[in-house]
Every structure is written in C-alpha cells, then in structure tokens.
C-alpha cells in the first residue's frame, strides 16, 4: 500500500543521504522524495512516498525515528491531508492542437509558462492523480519532456507541527 510520510529533520550536512541510505540499505521503496528548509532554517521537511505491507511500513516509521537527526515522523495514511505535486510538461503544439492544449490546461487550472513556435510548456499543480490525468490527456499531442516534483503534504485543519 502507498504511504505518504512527512519527516522533520535537522537541516544539516548529510541528512538527505542518511534518509536515502536507510531506504536503500534496508530495501524499502522510495517512490518520490522532496525536501526543503522550513520557516525555522535549522530544520528541513521531507515528504517521502513509499509503499509496502503493514510490517514494512511500521519498520520504515521506526527506523526513520531512530535516526539522531530525525525530529518527527508523521505517516499521513488514514489522516485527512492535502497532497500537492507540481509538474512541468513540454508538449508539442501544432496549429491543430494548440487550442486543445489550452482547453485541457484550463480544465486543470494549469498555466502555459513558455511558448515557442513548436511547443508549449505547461505548469500544473495538484494531487498525483490529477497530474496523471492531465498527462493522459496531453500524451496524444506528444509530450517532449516532463518533470514532476513529487508530492508535498500538509494535514488539514488548524493542527500543525510546532516551530515550523
């Protein structure tokens, strides 16, 4: 089963390698990983999407907590949370397809951020499911290049992690 986990870590040299090394060393999957500093510049927040049965996920959570540089781990599975991912999609834009690309882009509340005579670059934000959906629609026009950020998540409601 797919799990989205947020990790609050010390914003220090080598922490990303510690986390990545833990996953590879113990044979856990990483589907995506995104990381950036928080409001408190001494901390970073990571979002990792992983998968595995209950036993594996329990180990993932415990092993992450065990790292000295890890301050907090939240597994959002089963919680109410907002999940967003950004994608930049370079798509072939012929005379006949430009209008259709714009319409699709509109439906997904995307933006065209770069235009050349031969192609458009679309920026779209949403849940991974939504990003997949726009990719399905754009694929027939010819996707030349794609980059996805991997999802970031935040719990719904007023509750938050102190200090970040």
Partner 1 sequence: MKLTGSKILLESLLLEGVETIFGYPGGTVINIYDDLMDSSIKHILTRHEQAAVHAADGYARATGKVGVALATSGPGATNTITGIATAYMDSIPMVVITGQVPTGLIGNDAFQEADLIGITRPITKHNYLVKDVKDLARIIKQAFYIARTGRPGPVVIDLPKDVQMAITEFEYPEKVELRGYKPTFGGNVRMIEKAVKMMLAAKKPVLYVGGGATLTDAHAELMALAETLQMPVTTTLMGMASFPKRHPLSLGMLGMHGTYYANMAVTNSDVLIALGARFDDRVTGKISTFAPHAKIIHVDVDPTSIKKNVRVDLPIVGDLRDVLKKMNKKLAEHKDEVVQENEAIKPWLKEIAAWRKDHPMSYKHSKTEIKPQFVIEKLRELSNDDAIVTTEVGQHQMWTAQFFDFTQPRTFLSSGGLGTMGYGLPAALGAQAAFPERQVIDVSGDGSFQMNSQELATLVQYRLPVKIVILNNNFLGMVRQWQQLFFDKRYSQTCMELPIDFTKLAEAYGATGLRATKPEEVEAVIKKAFETPGPVIMEFKVSREENVMPMVPAGAGLNEMVLAS
DSSP code string of 16-84: HHHHHHHHHHTT---SEEEEEE-SSTTEEEEEEEEE--HHHHHHHHHHHHHSTTEEEEEE-TTS-EEEE
Q: Write out the binding residues for partner 1, residues 47-76 only, by CB under 8 A.
A: 55, 58-59, 62-63, 65-71
Rounded to a whole number of angstroms, the minimum distance from the CB of residue 21 to partner 1 is 6
66 vs 144 by CB, closer to partner 1:
66
- Cα 98 to Cα 127: distance, rounded to the nearest angstrom: 25
Assess 160 for contact with partner 1 (CB under 8 A). no
Between 10 and 83, CB nearer to partner 1: 10
Residue numbers 10-49 binding partner 1 by CB under 8 A: 10, 13-14, 17-18, 21, 25
Instruction: Find out whether 153 and 45 touch, Cβ atoms under 8 Å.
Output: no
**Least distance from partner 1 to the Cβ atom of residue 18, Å:** 6
Alpha-carbon span 91 to 150, nearest angstrom = 20
Q: Give the binding site for partner 1 (CB under 8 A).
A: 9-10, 13-14, 17-18, 21, 25, 55, 58-59, 62-63, 65-71
């Amino acid at each position: 089963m797919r799990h989205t986990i947020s990790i609050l870590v010390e914003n220090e040299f080598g922490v990303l390698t510690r986390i990545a090394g833990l996953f590879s060393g113990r044979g856990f999957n990483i589907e995506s990983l995104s990381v950036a500093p928080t409001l408190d510049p001494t901390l970073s927040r990571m979002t990792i999407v992983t998968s595995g049965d209950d036993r594996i996920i329990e180990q993932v959570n415990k092993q992450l907590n065990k790292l000295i540089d890890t301050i907090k781990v939240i597994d959002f599975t089963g919680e109410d949370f907002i999940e967003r991912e950004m994608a930049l999609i370079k798509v072939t834009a012929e005379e006949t397809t430009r209008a259709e690309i714009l319409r699709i882009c509109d439906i997904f509340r995307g933006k065209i951020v770069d235009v050349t005579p031969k192609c458009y670059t679309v920026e779209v934000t949403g849940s991974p499911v939504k990003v997949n959906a726009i990719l399905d629609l754009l694929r027939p026009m010819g996707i030349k290049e794609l980059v996805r950020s991997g999802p970031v998540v935040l719990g719904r409601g007023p509750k938050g992690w102190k200090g970040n």
